[in-house]
Amino acid sequence: MEKPQPQLIEKPYPPADDDCCGGGACSPCVWDYYYAQRKRWNAQRAAMLEETE
């Protein structure tokens, strides 16, 4: 039986200019969330590419 292929999560896009208040007090900031999602997307993508080789 073949192992089911996980589906790649949707590529995250940077927040719009007006999404961030620029105050530095938000925790987590929209940029923190974006960087975490991008890191997860990159890791998943790399794993999927590794499996196909």
Residue 1 has pLDDT above 70, yes or no: no
5 within some domain: no
Digit-coded pLDDT (tens) for 16-50: 989 999 898 899 999 999 999 999 999 998 988 88
Residue 51 has pLDDT above 70, yes or no: yes
Per-residue pLDDT, 8: 74
Split into its structural domains, the chain has a count of 1
1 within some domain: no
From the list 12, 19, 6, 4, the residue with the least C-alpha distance to 41 is 12
Per-residue pLDDT, 15: 95
Predicted TM-score (pTM) of this structure: 0.75
pLDDT band at 14 (very low <50, low <70, confident <90, very high): very high
19 within some domain: no
2 within some domain: no
**44 in Cβ contact with 8 (< 8 Å):** yes
Half-sphere exposure of 11 (CA within 13 A, CB side): 2
Half-sphere exposure of 31 (CA within 13 A, CB side): 9
Residue ranges making up the domain that contains 43: 24-52
9 within some domain: no
12 within some domain: no
